[in-house]
Structure 1
């Protein structure tokens, strides 16, 4: 009898294990059925445009099942794109309360900060982003979002707080943004010229510190400094020649220096503004015939309305009988060009007749440049 008892013990243990396993499986299946039912109910609310009820139903699932975070993130992002920021905030706030792995928790924190930003809650967004600046994965995005807040609030001085963090990244756009915001903050600074010099040296990729430095130097009759700053920009960013050459014309360049500069821009960069100015120079220092032939050759190689406009002016000087007839043509050309955009954003394609250091469309710094092409400068 005792031996039979020992034989039955393994059977009893196996039976207990089997029943327990089935019980756990039954509970798991029951739990999944509840999740499926709640999820289906939530989706049904979404399909019938009852979004508030849908969110409440779906958020209840977060207490049961946290493995579907990506689904909730996608849903919240959908609401944010639609402009339903309050709904996106509710979802992201609920997700933010969960105990999740650090990378996932930080990503949710960043998304919540973006919600707050879109809703105009800049102080809340800033508080969330500050702690993400040290995140290896999210540092660049957090800094860009912080800078967007400073742009929206015009709190330019706050940018300098993150100079070390920006210098620690490899982002060229962040460095350019930092330089521009510090230039904005320096507008009322008594030591502005020294600050501009420092920014120009520290952020060589940024145009604005050197450009503002040159304008200030010209205003103070510091021709040497202005000339140096402008020539540096024109060497590294020749597409800005349309705005730089009129300033350089006030920097007392010799005739030979001016001719060499314009020739280099014409031959290497095919810059329209340089072609126009070189045509003027040839008409003044050579002959109108030489200037006319030069402009005709450039038009044959690359059609340009502005070069054609300059050709009309030269021909009016060269031929008095034709001046009256050509003046009416010039008026038509002037009227045509008066309606054309002068600048275009290389990032988003925004066109404008006015220059902006910050693109009004895509909010990127120093992407609005003089337009090239047949109507360009």
Structure 2
């Protein structure tokens, strides 16, 4: 009788758990999140061994912005004696709760403990970098250089390069420091971009030229921003022509084609420039090349200049409203460049767009 009584109580308890879980999931499926949360909370009070249910509920709270409830659940789980891998995962989730709630010091403390965990090292470092950006403690990010080197993550190296470069703002910059950063982090383009900018300011055309050419070789889509600076580096005519031809023909870059058109006008004839633009427009339509064609036609015919100028004004108004950059990670669109995407918080993912409106 005693054994039967115990089994009966156990089966009754399991039935209650199953009933609460089923009704809670039903509320979730019918978009009644508030009722689902209450129902699942009752389940958690009954059965504390359902770790996956706890984690799912805490993530639900965090998405809703109820960070205090998510923190309470994860803290409760963190106190349990669990396998190491599962315990570290819960610790990481708790750190994310603290970060979302603005408790950066607590999140940092937990994440630093996870940096030596092979499974969570990369994710922990990315979260730490977000904290250091929010607290403007960039020197702490630089101190994690060794930990980043122990990963295979390209995105982490790019992030560290940007944070290191950002930390140098306001300091007495010299070319040596930026050159060392550019050499240490070849995956990132910002150190070389800043190196070139400083070199041009100090009239060191050779250093600027080397940095800018290496960026173009790695990221030809940045031609619209790099070529105007490169034009200040005293390239000879043949080298400039060959570079523009390579970018225009191999990479189909619109900015290079526009500059090549100017080169043809200066060193050849305006008719050659017109034929070149028409040929490229037939191959790949682009509104900026069409604008250049309008300018050429205005120079050729004073009679048509008045009509064409009004058309060019319409084209200019159209271009003034178009985006120039887009994040390849999340699709964020903007007219100005960002090293850090404001939407997905990824470094160096906002790049110039291509296509009909591209540069």
What is aligned with 2:157? 175
Give the Cα separation in 2 of the matches to 1:302 and 1:50.
56
Out of 118, 136, 140, the residue aligned to residue 118 of structure 2 is: 136
Structure-1 residue corresponding to 2:226: 244
> Secondary structure at the residue paired with 2:274?
helix
| 2:320 corresponds to 1:338 | yes
Displacement of 1:375 in angstroms is 0.3
1:37 aligns with one of 16, 38, 51: 16
- State the partner residue of 2:242: 260
2: CA distance, partners of 1:376 / 1:207: 21
Q: CA deviation at 1:37?
A: 2.6
Looking at structure 1, the residues matched to 20 and 199 of structure 2 have their Cα atoms a distance apart, in angstroms, of 69
**1:27-53 deviation digits (Å, cap 9, x = unpaired):** 355245335436645776895846775
Following superposition, the deviation at residue 242 of structure 1 comes to 0.6
**Equivalent-residue separation in structure 1 for 2:36 and 2:177 (angstroms):** 53
What is the correspondence of 1:117-196 to structure 2 with a 5 Å cutoff? 117-196=99-178
Does 2:275 correspond to 1:293?
yes
Distance 1:28 1:204 in 2: 66
Aligned to 1:326: 308
The match for 2:84 among 102, 106, 110 is 102
Question: Which residue of structure 2 lines up, in the alignment, with residue 272 of structure 1?
Answer: 254
Counterpart for residue 265 of structure 2: 283
TM-score when scaled to structure 2?
0.93
1: CA distance between counterparts of 2:327 and 2:309? 34
Q: Does the aligned pair in 2 maintain the 1:283–1:314 contact within 8 Å?
A: no
Structure-2 change in CA distance of 1:257 and 1:52 (3 Å): closer
Structure 2 Cα separation of the partners of residues 212 and 87 of structure 1? 44
- Find the structure with the greater CA-based Rg: 1
* C-alpha RMSD of matched pairs (Å): 2.0
Unaligned runs of 5+ in 1: 1-18
Q: Which residue of 1 aligns with 2:61?
A: 79
1:344 is paired with a residue whose SS is strand
Contact 2:20 2:40 in 1 (8 A): no
Specify the alignment match of 2:331 in structure 1: 349
Question: Hey, what's the Cα distance between the residues in 2 that align with 1:26 and 1:110?
Answer: 42
2:114 aligns to what SS in structure 1?
coil
Work out the CA distance in 1 between the residues paired with 2:18 and 2:171.
59
- 1:107-134 Cα distance to aligned partner (Å, 9 max, x none): 0000111111111111111111000000
Change (3 A) 1:29 1:71: farther
Deviation at 1:55, TM superposition (A): 6.2
- Provide the residue aligned with 1:14 in structure 2: none
> Unpaired segments of 5 or more residues in structure 2?
none
For this pair of structures, how many residues does the alignment match? Answer: 353
